[in-house]
Amino acid sequence: MRQKATASATTTGTTPEQRGIRLQKVLAAAGIASRREAERLIQSGRVEVNGQVVTTLGTRVDTQADRIRVDGAPVGRAEQAVTVLLHKPKGVLSTAHDPRGRPTVLDLVRGVPARLFPVGRLDWNSEGLLLLTNDGDLAQRLTHPSNHVPKTYRVKVKGLVGRPTLEQVRHGLFLDGRKTMPAPVKRISSQSNTWLEVVLFEGRKNQIRRIFERLGHPVLKLRRTAIGALADRDLKPGEWRPLTPAEIRVLRGYR
């Protein structure tokens, strides 16, 4: 039976303040998950250091001396950073693994010589651009709420959307007791239904679908077309490509 660690120091004779690297940073650098997801792995008791389960955020480790495992599997040294851009199709999960055996985005990027994880999410019924990486620092930069990285969506909603509805989206409305950030939105076309372009600066779960459901215009189609300044109209659903060094530099500029 595994024992829970009672001290956050993992190197004999030292304290966390004296030596080592934060455990969540080590996991992110090794390509296990983004730093935020690595924190969840630690808190849920899935990480061991030297045979002890560690659940304390801020724990520091010596990557040369300490033995680190996640779900029983050893964590190696940091991989070379790899980031790819995928056009996620509908009917695919934005996760690394599904216990029910449903298709995931990792099924679409087989052959990449790195252990990738998705940066953020697109829901099952949505499609569009999604980054996958093993670079935990880049993932943290793109998903941290304080950085407000814009994401652009092309959205088809039911019915004709008038100016008062657009103004509500632009100024924000309350979801779960908290007001959404102002979101630029413009009408692209309208017949019996309406196509819109929406830009979000935050990443609440199913945010666009919930907003327009609240306003009486359920979403019929949703496609992410840009992440920050990164876009690619040539990628077809299911296709992916590596990012260029220039594109990665642009993404690293968000802070």
Look-up of token digits 């949703």? 222
Question: How far apart, in Å, are the Cα atoms of 99 and each of 93, 105, 202?
Answer: 11, 14, 28
The 3-class secondary structure across 54-100, one letter per residue, is CCCCCCEECCCCCCEEECCEECCCCCCCCEEEEEECCCCECCCCCCC
- Looking at 62, 123, 137, 232, which residue is catalytic? 123
Residue 122's region, left for phi above 0, alpha for psi from -120 to 50, else beta, is beta
Amino acid identity of 122?
L
Return d(Cα 146, Cα 7) in angstroms, integer. 31
* 153 beta partners: 198, 224
Do the strands 127-133 and 117-119 form a parallel or antiparallel pair, or are they unpaired?
antiparallel
Is 123 annotated as catalytic? yes
DSSP state of 51: T
Q: Which residues contact 184 (CB under 8 A, 6 or more apart)?
A: 170, 198, 199
Residue 165's region, left for phi above 0, alpha for psi from -120 to 50, else beta, is alpha
Q: Which phi and psi angles does 88 have, rounded to 5°?
A: -70, 125
Query: Are the C-beta atoms of 25 and 35 separated by less than 8 Å?
Result: yes
Query: Are the C-beta atoms of 132 and 81 separated by less than 8 Å?
Result: no
Look-up of token digits 């103004």? 167
Catalytic residues: 123
